[in-house]
Structure 1
């Protein structure tokens, strides 16, 4: 599940790196080959694709696809009707389904279907964004940090980036303006998005239909998962009319060899990291992440067995953790593979040798690889306190996150009116809070912080005082009023002193925030700033040696990849490109996680079992691409990407066209489901599908 990979990357790698993979792959320093690349829309290799696949892609085609592509929270999506209907994955909306559920009405277990527009329900905190403009701002950003180091460098860069964003959006809340770094700081671009903040759920199948096979099938193929869902964007209480900016629905499955395009927002890749960065990721960051994720998963699994309600509210967090753990395990496998690391080292040595042979280039960039090696020494010392006190503080507790955001806002008098309004909207949103889960997460974080930093660490003494992690977590969660949106909204107008007096969780955060911000500031000045400077120089070296026809690392910004429908062969076993809906019935055992969804059981006689269910293609994707439309050469949507195969876990570090595969659910299967499993004439009509699907011969 690619969305879960993105969530893990954000949690575990906010310092300098992201996630990785499981196999030997080509080095990332050389120009892209085969179907490799998550290309930006302003640098897509149109001619290469047309020559390779005989297509007729042009700028108008790219513009149509870009205007129909949608970024939602943590995922990708696309408009598929004039009335703002959005196609994405089930696992991208399962959080919404859970937040709208109650003990009496479980939309995760039983699915959600709005029979009318009036029944479409708003997803708390969900947004839909469409990229409207790309502007190169590299000179402005790089110039802002000229001659500065450390905290001054960070401050100058941040100030200039904020100015660019503020100028571009001009206070219009309908837009989101974001300056994005590419090529690890070699280029900066302003991305301007049209934003819709009223997004409602229209359809999501039962969890057992969407995630049939569960964790054992995750990152594997064959798959029999209906991992698809529909949302709708609203504005002023009415569905958004997107005009012609939507992808036409093709209800027919592709054929082997058909060209495919995936337009989405890959979250984060690490293909341009240097060896010293990869080695610290392997030796320190990933092992700690794996150990802690494993323990938290165990605590949540144990809690889920205590009752039906515990199982319901812990489903989504466990789902995410299990996916993340598998991803991180695969990453560690790659970085401990001697052949993989030898390939990466060879690529780096080649680039460094070519730089060394050019005295003018050496004069320009110096030795950024040596600079990054020195940064890793500092990062190793700072990482544990930075992780425990700042980066992962609270252990995922939503109440702690609210408290810290409000306390920090009270100390910042320089917030703009727009920032205040945006925060008030986020803080005041109606979001279910599950007290038991909150206490588990806070207790886990406090105990791990004591374990990793030791009892005698000054910050640990400040955190715990004379209480145990268990007693402190219980007291704070039982005593806080932050589960009440009205109280949170009221708290935004309080001073820090008033907050401390108003709630024990505010008092706890305020007492410990100085240490957290201090280690965060050190990390920013001593790790992030010199890393940015050195990475810019490595990027300059790549441009000088290999030219500008390269794709950058993923940054959860809109990209387009190309490929074709194709299976693969590994260790003598050939995996076909397709599964059909009948295969789900054959694979079912009746026991979790291979028990069929009830709607599949009830409607078996109606289902065309020859319908292509899921398919694989050679498209280059990563976490964040979940929900991305899979598009044919005519610009029609033929599927939605929801996963990668086990080999694609190496996608964070590189791409292997022989083995890496994108896994998608076909529009043919979604059409069949909407016709015969979850009958929805309304949606079929909106999608332009009002005739029975032709059987595939």
Structure 2
């Protein structure tokens, strides 16, 4: 009986069952076929055509992928006003901040369109259409092809499909594999390149609770920021220009002030980044011991150093705020995911499924011939993971860890040009490096990077086999007697890349000899050489792993042919549906499904970096000045939770009610279900959202940016 229960629980973690309405990141183009009936039974008042249509405006036309899918945003006015999370706009807010105009600390609100701030490189992509192109992608692909032959044919076919799809248009298109390469879909986008910052609350609202509350419930965080999409006078995407005009979207979301109650239908549309719900037990084990452990070991050291520097001055805080936030988010996530995977016995559950799969395959000769090698190929790929772990630690400690190696490696083109003595190539390389100086040195402190370098080199050395040491690590052991800090101090003292003036002087008259003698540059070459060597070794098992995964998922879909399968997230538009509701995280504890402004006051720690509360917010709270944004109970709701299925990339996604009206903005998941990217946990998994009424209250009452309120369509 125990074995059967384990199998059933495992299936709940893998597949969508009719009884679990909240699991699944569904393609909007398929909801008519797979989901609409169930959604309407749960309370949805819309048709599938209202949600996704290529013939008329629909909800999909109001939801955008920011920066090709790093976050999601939604259009909330007929003039291209866009709402997303504060942490999704954090980089732009930080970039525009200075000691004189500290928008991170004080917030920013454009009272006119002329005050809105441009952000070179930021994009907003609208989905035009989705098409199943599996049959066309697999033309001339045969079972007797080896991996490389199969992959080459698929790439060739995909390129042709993409080219034909956007011919004579300004659109861009991408064919993406779903279900581990068993299905292929074409996604066509219209991407706008002029996206301007319009508004953001101070960090004390937009990031209230900081890292302490990150991934936690209950939350009291106004995690939102606002941008505007601009286009050329012809209505088409254009690079930034003063002549550009606000984009007039096909659809913008109406905003509801009616709130929600427990059990109400909730729907999320967005661009979730990556899940691996079909990953094997072997893969989960590696994620815990390899990917997550490398993050934990490296980022723990890095964050401690960054925090120490940021506490020294306002300038230091602005410099490293965005870098710290990026690093800390998945540091804590990795800790929580490992804890959740253990607590939920995910490996045991997946092993039970794999045993059932093996029995099913072995019961039939035809299935044995077709799927018999699937799990063997996967297991073989994970037998020796020293290469993979070395790669994980290399990325965390030398590529993403210190900045000096990646930045100095940017001079490789100049190094090659100097060796060939090609004047035009030298001049082009110099100009390329010069173009990056302002952005790099604005937010860089060499002494801090030196400390990070010393600590992270030690982390790498302690966790990776000696065969994968870059030569300069051997030098640390021989010349510096294992003193990483002494090596780092010497390297930073002598390199031209730690000081802008020295680098600019070199660029005025570049010499090959200088780069040959520069320890930071030479170390960077060694780092990326080792990276290539490890990558090549990993590729020796990658073909088998990818083939095994494809066959395993294909077999599962045949084995459970009556189940509704959803594809793993891959930064394409998805829809999830569920309900508003509370949950029980542990024995004797029950969490309410919403929080109120009172929580800000209860959590306040005056002057604290994470829990400081703005004076104006307190004044409004004590005056009970909530205006039309108060709930029926008289309080101002700040955040609420639903059981919608989300992941990274969904940040900023609209949370809509049964009528497709905006009631909140998704911004986080909960600590108890950090295993969700690998195994959905139906009893615990929650989507944390900022209440749209709190967003509007902050814009209106706190910031006085009534110009923004006036252009929205608000349902009282």
Range into which the TM-score falls when normalised by the shorter chain: 0.7 to 0.9
CA contact (8 A) 1:128 1:199 kept: yes
Deviation track 1:537-570 (CA, whole Å, cap 9, x = no partner) reads 0121122122373111111221100011111234
* Structure 1 counterpart of 2:324: 318
Deviation track 1:352-381 (CA, whole Å, cap 9, x = no partner) reads 333333332222222211110000024x12
CA contact (8 A) 2:472 2:523 kept: no
Q: Say which SS state the counterpart of residue 121 (structure 1) adopts.
A: coil
Alignment partners' CA distance in 2, 1:429 and 1:187? 44
1:603 Cα offset (Å): 3.7
Q: 1:295 to 1:186 in 2, by over 3 A?
A: same
* Structure 2 counterpart of 1:686: 711
CA contact (8 A) 2:110 2:198 kept: yes
**Alignment equivalent of 1:69, drawn from 63, 67, 73:** 63
Structure 1 position 574 matched with structure 2 position 590: yes
1:110 Cα offset (Å): 1.1
CA contact (8 A) 1:75 1:625 kept: yes
1:520 Cα offset (Å): 1.7
* Structure 2 counterpart of 1:177: 173
**Alignment equivalent of 1:51, drawn from 36, 41, 55:** 41
* Structure 2 counterpart of 1:11: none
Alignment partners' CA distance in 1, 2:174 and 2:582? 38
Q: Say which SS state the counterpart of residue 174 (structure 2) adopts.
A: strand
Q: Say which SS state the counterpart of residue 90 (structure 1) adopts.
A: coil
Alignment partners' CA distance in 1, 2:712 and 2:569? 31
1:302 Cα offset (Å): 2.5
| Worse-superposed segment, 90-99 or 461-470 | 461-470
* Structure 2 counterpart of 1:450: 461
* Structure 1 counterpart of 2:211: 215
Q: Say which SS state the counterpart of residue 258 (structure 2) adopts.
A: coil
Residues 505-544 of structure 1 correspond to what in structure 2 (within 5 A)? Answer: 508-510=523-525, 512-523=527-538, 525-544=539-558
- Structure 2: which 5+ runs fail to align? 1-8, 233-240, 418-427
Residues 533-612 of structure 1 correspond to what in structure 2 (within 5 A)? Answer: 533-547=547-561, 549-570=564-585, 571-590=587-606, 592=608, 593-604=610-621, 605=623, 607-608=625-626, 610-612=635-637
Aligned length: 653
1:411 Cα offset (Å): 8.8
**Alignment equivalent of 1:394, drawn from 390, 394, 399:** 399
Structure 1 position 433 matched with structure 2 position 443: yes
1:461 Cα offset (Å): 3.7
Alignment partners' CA distance in 2, 1:167 and 1:408? 35
Alignment partners' CA distance in 2, 1:681 and 1:264? 27
Residues 614-653 of structure 1 correspond to what in structure 2 (within 5 A)? Answer: 614-653=639-678
**Alignment equivalent of 1:348, drawn from 333, 350, 354:** 354
- RMSD between superposed Cα atoms in Å: 3.8
CA contact (8 A) 1:477 1:505 kept: no
| Worse-superposed segment, 264-273 or 216-225 | 216-225
Whose Rg is larger?
2
Alignment partners' CA distance in 1, 2:105 and 2:511? 42
Structure 1 position 39 matched with structure 2 position 26: yes
Structure showing greater relative contact order (alpha-carbon pairs closer than 8 Å, 6 or more residues apart): 1
Q: 1:296 to 1:587 in 2, by over 3 A?
A: closer
Q: Say which SS state the counterpart of residue 382 (structure 2) adopts.
A: helix
1:672 Cα offset (Å): 1.4
1:135 Cα offset (Å): 2.9
CA contact (8 A) 2:174 2:186 kept: yes
Deviation track 1:466-490 (CA, whole Å, cap 9, x = no partner) reads 67755665646974469989x99x9
* Structure 1 counterpart of 2:279: 273
Q: Say which SS state the counterpart of residue 88 (structure 2) adopts.
A: helix
1:426 Cα offset (Å): 13
1:194 Cα offset (Å): 1.1
| Worse-superposed segment, 290-299 or 337-346 | 337-346
Alignment partners' CA distance in 1, 2:400 and 2:48? 47
1:259 Cα offset (Å): 0.9
CA contact (8 A) 1:179 1:190 kept: yes
Residues 192-211 of structure 1 correspond to what in structure 2 (within 5 A)? Answer: 192-211=188-207
Q: 1:223 to 1:188 in 2, by over 3 A?
A: same
CA contact (8 A) 1:248 1:637 kept: yes
Q: Say which SS state the counterpart of residue 13 (structure 2) adopts.
A: coil
* Structure 2 counterpart of 1:128: 124
CA contact (8 A) 1:390 1:517 kept: no
* Structure 2 counterpart of 1:374: 380
CA contact (8 A) 1:368 1:538 kept: yes
